[in-house]
């Protein structure tokens, strides 16, 4: 994820929160990395009310992008433009997030507003079984794929 002020990132995490019990019942562990400083999570009403109440989530602050670098998570001004988001239909997601009280402009000091999300499904042997590198700033892994992986331990397209 990008930062605590990214509505698309928060919307994806919100949707994960809605199915976290289902996912963790199958043994899935969820790690969510953000560029934000830990203090930003503590100030965030969204994280306090939606994310931190779920103890199944591990939210990890990586402001130096060490893990992002290891997994080659991209920074792309071209993929983070308003035009790219419009072309991908992400404006509807931003509007839906706003209806839920999730807002923000994606800007946060010390973070990259043009960071692109990446999601990984990692097997019990700690090998990456599926890597999803976003095509735009709001392109995350399908939650149906995550559900299927949680249930079977296998990746299906």
13-31 pLDDT per residue, tens:
999 999 999 999 999 999 9
Q: How far is Cα 6 from Cα 157, in angstroms, rounded to an integer?
A: 27
Q: In this structure, what token pair is assigned to residue 88?
A: 């991908």
Q: How far is Cα 141 from Cα 132, in angstroms, rounded to an integer?
A: 6
Phi-psi region of 52 (alpha: psi -120 to 50; beta: other; left: phi over 0): alpha
Nearest Cα residue to 132 out of 155, 105, 107, 106? 155
Yes or no: say if 57 and 17 are a contact pair by the CB < 8 Å rule.
yes
Q: How far is Cα 152 from Cα 130, in angstroms, rounded to an integer?
A: 14
> Phi and psi (nearest 5°) for 20?
-60, -40
Q: Is the Cα dihedral 97, 102, 106, 110 positive or negative?
A: negative
Mean pLDDT by 10 residues, the chain (157 residues): 90 95 94 94 88 86 95 95 95 94 88 94 96 97 97 88
> What are the respective helix, strand and coil percentages of the chain, to the nearest 5?
40, 15, 45
Q: How many residues does the chain have?
A: 157
Say what the pLDDT of residue 46 is. 87
């Amino acid at each position: 994820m990008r930062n605590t002020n990214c509505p698309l990132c928060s919307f994806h995490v919100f949707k994960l929160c809605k199915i976290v019990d289902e996912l963790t019942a199958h043994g899935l562990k969820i790690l969510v990395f953000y560029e934000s400083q830990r203090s930003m999570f503590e100030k965030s009403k969204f994280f306090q009310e939606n994310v931190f109440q779920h103890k199944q989530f591990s939210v990890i602050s990586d402001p130096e992008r060490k893990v992002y670098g290891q997994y080659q998570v991209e920074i792309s001004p071209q993929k983070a433009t308003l035009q790219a988001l419009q072309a991908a239909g992400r404006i509807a997601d931003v509007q839906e997030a706003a209806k839920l009280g999730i807002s923000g402009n994606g800007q946060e000091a010390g973070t990259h507003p043009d960071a692109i999300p990446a999601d990984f499904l990692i097997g019990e042997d700690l090998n990456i079984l599926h890597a999803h590198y976003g095509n735009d700033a709001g392109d995350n892994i399908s939650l149906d794929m995550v559900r299927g992986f949680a249930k079977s331990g296998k990746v299906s397209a």
